[in-house]
Structure 1
Amino acid sequence: MESRSAQQSAQDRQLAARLDAEGVRNTALTWVDNAGITRVKAVPAHRLEQAARRGVGMSPVFDVFTSDDAITESPHIGGPDGDLRLFPDLDRVTPLAAQPGWAWAPADRYDQLGAPHPACQRQFARRMTERAAEHGLGVRMGFETEWVVTRVPEPGTPAAADPDAPLDFPCAGPAYGMTRVVELSDYLRDITEALTVQGLDVLQLHPEYAAGQFEVSTAAGDPVRAADDVVLVRETVRAVSARHGLRASFAPTVVAGLVGNGCHLHLSLDRDGRSLHRDPAAAHGLAPEATAFLGGVLEALPALLALGCPSPASYLRLQPSHWAGVFQCWGVENREAALRLITGAPDDPDGGHAELKPFDAAANPYLVVGAVLAAGLHGLAFGSVLPEPVSGDPGVLGVRERGRRGIVRLPTTLTDSADRLEKSAPLREAMGEVLHGAVLAVRRAEAARFAGEGDEEIAAETRWRW
């Protein structure tokens, strides 16, 4: 980590003074571990300048934490030894609208000598973004965030003392129904207001399919910013929920057998400001570079699932005919395809991009955006192609018909997807041995932890981890 210049130090002091004037007393410095849990160290606002200059100490062992806070080991990381430094990204410092007196900043991780920590997921995402730029490729990404909200049981009631008590959903009514908006209009208004005050551009906010389920979409940005934004969205929704006596779950499966929470990734490609999704001479508007990039992503999806669907609970969600994208195929405006091409109207600024549907919010978003970029760039380098697009629901086709069309089911277990990640040379090269090994260690530990447990047990034990 390069030392900060006198000018930067002066800017840091000005920032600290501004935060103090706004009533900010603490700043949460966050990173997301390989199990998808947002971890934090907080510093008083008046020490933010020092944190930016010297970093904040943390253990490398967090890279091998599992979602239930157990600790495993990888070939390069494990045990009590060593130390790292968290450096807040001061360009992203954000006073938190739903947590008065608090601000937030994502952090990068370095070793004690100032070298980038090889398992820092945020720096991995940045390296892949820079690698795309070196190829003259502009990439914009954005996430849809889904969550389920329940009422917090009143203290002293039987439900408060019983962890197995049925969930109390605060709204009724049909899927996507206006009834849900009416019943929770104050809550949803406060979410929109908090996100907007924090500088996030809310595109949509609406009820989803499952009981108590909602979705918010924010505007796309560069890949690192997109990952930062989705972390901020989740923690803002969590904070607003708490202020309304509610509890938000972003878990892939909140109730076994019901539709789960996804966290779909949208991406668009351009060169020199020209969209590669709007080529009038190409099929479906996809310029050759976009076809090769998306072809690389589609080829890598079985391995990418270990990053975007990192929990055994993820695979309870990945069911055919549930719009979760469980088959390795693509389609034009097909919500059952794992890779959905969104064409949009000719004058639609949000048209002309792609969506990856299988991913969920148990994923570390920095790993997701970095790995998708790595897969796409590999496809670009080796001239990957897209097969014929699929229309309709592949889940209703017979096994023979899917085989004839080359439609393959994506991995159905975490062990299966981890095996694919382990064998993926392009992702191993992009991530580096330290990060790749740490992710695999956590995936193996998560799979072993829940081996032999039923769907209901898996859902219940992971429901409030994300």
Structure 2
Amino acid sequence: MKNYTRDDIVRLVKEEDVEFIRLQFTDMFGQLKNIAITANQLDKALDNRCTFDGSSIDGFVGIEESDMYLHPDLSTLEIFPWRPQQGKVARMICDVYRPDGTPFEGDPRQVLKRAVGEAGDMGYTFEVGPECEFFLFDTDENAMPTTNTHEQAGYFDIGPLDGGENARREIVMTLEDMGLIIEASHHESAPAQHEIDLRYGEALTVADNIMTFKLAVRTIAKRHGLHATFMPKPRFGVNGSGMHINMSLHRDGRNLFEDGNDPNGLSKEAYYFIGGIMRHIKGMAAVTNQLVNSYKRLVPGYDAPVYIAWSTTNRSPLIRIPAERGGSTRIELRSPDSAANPYLMLAVCLKAGLDGIANQIEPPKSVDCNIYTMTEAQRRGLGIENMPGTLIEAVEELKKDGFILDVLGKHVAEKYIAAKEQEWQQYRAHVSEWEIRQYLYRY
């Protein structure tokens, strides 16, 4: 994190010949928004006097209370490497406030800041590392996105099989120019599918980085004539795109999930954190997997978690403990997908885990064999439950989980649930191509 002062911002904007500053914020559904100001309006922005119409943003406020204020986080100033080098464009990520100076309860970044603050009051620092997957598809003659690709590369393949290698390399270099540290990048299992892993860091910084990552990926892909999508399951018959989240709690610089005396190398806090996640995962699903399309990914046969279990040795359960131990001990949650709002997703993950610690929720016994090959009776005998199978099932589970509703807050919970129920109703009313092929000539 860069500890810029107001004077630092003013100086950098002048020295770097920045002409435009984008004041960015994220809506309830993970969509990045911004208003752009010129450099001569910088003082106004730094005085927190820039406003926007909150009634125009889904899930924010009605027209009777529409004025919202943007408070820039000075540490997030970055210059876009892909914009002109004369009259440069920079951005600052903002928190949303009401006119009376109070944080807006519908701002997802505020939801995460509240959760992180509560963890801090308990002496914890929440650190996370995301593994971000996406597709790079061809565009048509009008530069519109398609789901077509000419490549047939698979897991860890290289060029020339990997047709997106050049675009992915430029994405990584651009992100590093913007101050992000990339731990790894590679082709994923499906044709045109890619993964880029961001470095571990404190939750709020990582959530900001995920939003920056998505913007950079889409921008650089377009420069290569490709369309980048974080849609969880854009093509039938291949793996979907997840965003596995690696998590750990720290206190005074020490990883609290580590215990060399435990057979699994895990501390009591780690076990309880797992227990909390498993207790609330059904209620969390509408946040970690927020689209109708998300549940097309969470089906057997495509490496995505379907069953609520954990393991230290295999990748079929919901929660996996990667092999590294010591200071690198972590819990990997495998259900979130790349369309999730990172602020809300990390908030519910953190608070569910902390609930496990506070109430000493013991997880069930680890399942160290392939759950996909078990019969339903075997899974039932081990008490292994299924993840929600559709968005509306996930929404109903969220409505039953008062703890997760409290994490989101009344405003976010009510607006979010109403929007997702409407999304489901629109989906139910839609007639798909599959239905046409199955029924039109038969009935």
- TM-score norm. by structure 2 comes to 0.90
* Residues 1:370 and 2:347 are matched in the alignment: yes
1:439-450 to 2 correspondence within 5 Å? 439-450=416-427
Give the one of 191, 195, 198 matched to 2:178.
198
Q: Secondary structure of the residue that 2:168 maps to in structure 1?
A: helix
The answer to whether the 8 A contact 1:306-1:417 is kept is: yes
1:88 aligns to what? 72
Pick the aligned partner of 1:23 from 17, 29, 42: 17
Decide which moves more: 178-187 or 142-151. Answer: 178-187
Equivalent residue for 1:36?
30
Tell me, yes or no, if the aligned pair for 1:251 and 1:362 is still in contact at 8 Å. Answer: yes
Q: What is the DSSP-based 3-state SS (H/G/I as helix, E as strand, rest coil) of the residue aligned with 1:251?
A: coil
**Contact 2:309–2:319 under 8 Å retained in 1:** yes
- Do the aligned partners of 2:139 and 2:226 also contact (CA within 8 Å) in 1? yes
For residue 237 of structure 1, what is the amino acid of its counterpart?
V
- CA distance in structure 2 between the partners assigned to 1:268 and 1:146 by the alignment: 21
RMSD: 2.4
* Cα distance per residue 1:320-349 (max 9 Å; x no partner): 232211211111142221111113165xx6
Please say if residues 142 and 266 of structure 1, whose CA atoms lie closer than 8 Å, have aligned partners that are also in contact.
yes
The one-letter amino acid of 2:191's match is A
State the match for 1:98 in structure 2.
82
| 1:219-234 correspondence to structure 2 within 5 Å | 219-234=199-214
Q: Is the 8 A contact 1:27 1:45 kept in 2?
A: yes
Question: What's the CA shift for 1:174?
Answer: 3.2
1:53 pairs with 2:47: yes
Distance 1:182 1:282, change over 3 A: same
Which of 386, 400, 413 is equivalent to 1:409?
386
Query: Counterparts of 1:336-415 in structure 2 under 5 Å?
Result: 336-344=316-324, 351-415=328-392
Deviation string for 1:64-99 (max 9, x for gaps)?
A: 35xxxxxxxxxx944564221121211111111123
- Aligned with 1:279 (options 247, 259, 276): 259
- Partners of 2:402 and 2:266 in 1: CA distance: 27
Query: Is 1:248 matched with 2:232?
Result: no
For residue 243 of structure 1, report the CA deviation from its aligned partner.
1.4
Shift of 1:53: 1.1
Shift of 1:31: 2.1
Please state if 1:262 is matched with 2:242: yes
Aligned-residue offset at 1:256: 3.1
Within a 5 Å distance, the mapping from 1:289-300 to structure 2 comes to 289-300=269-280
- Residue type matched to 1:139 in 2? F
- CA shift for structure 1 position 415: 0.8
In the TM superposition, what is the alpha-carbon distance from 1:188 to its structure 2 partner? 2.4
Contact 1:13 1:49 in 2 (8 A): no
Structure-2 separation of matches of 1:11 and 1:287 = 39
Judge conservation of contact 2:133–2:194 (CA < 8 Å) in 1.
yes
Q: C-alpha distance in 2, partners of 1:20/1:127? A: 34
Taking a change above 3 Å as real, the CA distance of residues 315 and 325 of structure 1, as seen in their structure-2 partners, is same
The change in CA–CA distance for 1:427 and 1:174 in structure 2 (over 3 A counts) is: closer
Partners of 2:26 and 2:433 in 1: CA distance: 26
> Compared with structure 1, are the counterparts of its residues 103 and 223 closer, same or farther at alpha carbon in structure 2 (3 Å cutoff)?
same
Q: Can you give the 5+ residue segments of structure 1 that lack an aligned partner in the other structure? A: 1-7, 66-75, 459-466
Change (3 A) 1:181 1:235: farther
Matched, 1:118 2:95: no
Query: What is the SS of the residue equivalent to 1:25?
Result: strand
Alignment counterpart, residue 137 of structure 1, candidates 104, 109, 124:
124
- 1:357 Cα shift? 0.8
Structure with larger RCO (C-alpha < 8 A, sep 6+): 1
Q: CA deviation at 1:63?
A: 5.7
Are the equivalent residues in 1 in contact too, given 2:26–2:107 (CA < 8 A)?
A: no
Contact 2:240 2:302 in 1 (8 A): no
- For the 8 Å contact 1:146–1:263, the answer to whether it is kept is yes
Q: 1:279 corresponds to which letter in structure 2?
A: D
**CA deviation string 1:133-178 (max 9, x = no partner):** 21122220121111111222234xxxx68x8xx6332533333312
CA distance in 2, matches of 1:120, 1:209: 35
Gap regions ≥5 residues in structure 2: 436-443
AA partner of residue 32 (structure 2): T
Amino acid at match of 1:260: G
8 A Cα contact 2:231 2:338, kept in partner: yes
Q: Which amino acid aligns with 1:311?
A: L
Count matched residues.
430
